[in-house]
Amino acid sequence: MTVRQTFAPSLDDIETLARAAIARLPELFQAHLGAVVLRIEDFPDEDVCRDMELESEFDILGLYQGHAVGRSVDVSGALPDTVYLYRRPMLDLWAEGEESLEHIVTHVLVHEVGHHFGLSDDDMHRIEDSAL
């Protein structure tokens, strides 16, 4: 009897799904995302958990840190705009079996990118529907 060993998707696997989702976004979004850093991490750091008053590091799937598109002044020494996707909380949601991992990654990415663009939840849902 052969036993096949399987592993949870890695950080690189999540990044691959996220980059594929970015490629499906409207060109206007892609043009403005060139300078936005995409970071895939297992969990948010302690500062994020504290600042957002999270009960658990599993309480957040992604985070956008930066300024909305259209800011009129560049701040010297400012960190780059960054979208964080948190692998372990997304895997837990995926394990519930209601959504594909691709759908979850796309949903979280579009929501966080939406913050970069200052979009409403309705706008984000329309864009997500077109990216799936």
**What pLDDT digit, counting tens, does each position of 4-52 carry?**
557 889 999 999 999 999 898 888 778 777 888 999 999 999 999 999 9
pLDDT value for 97:
86
- For 75-119, the pLDDT digits (tens) are 566 778 899 999 999 999 999 988 999 999 999 998 888 877 777
Could you give the residue ranges of the DSSP H alpha helices within 25-100?
27-32, 46-51, 87-95
DSSP string, 81-128: PEEEEEHHHHHHHHHTSSS-HHHHHHHHHHHHHHHHHT--HHHHHHHH
pTM (2 d.p.): 0.84
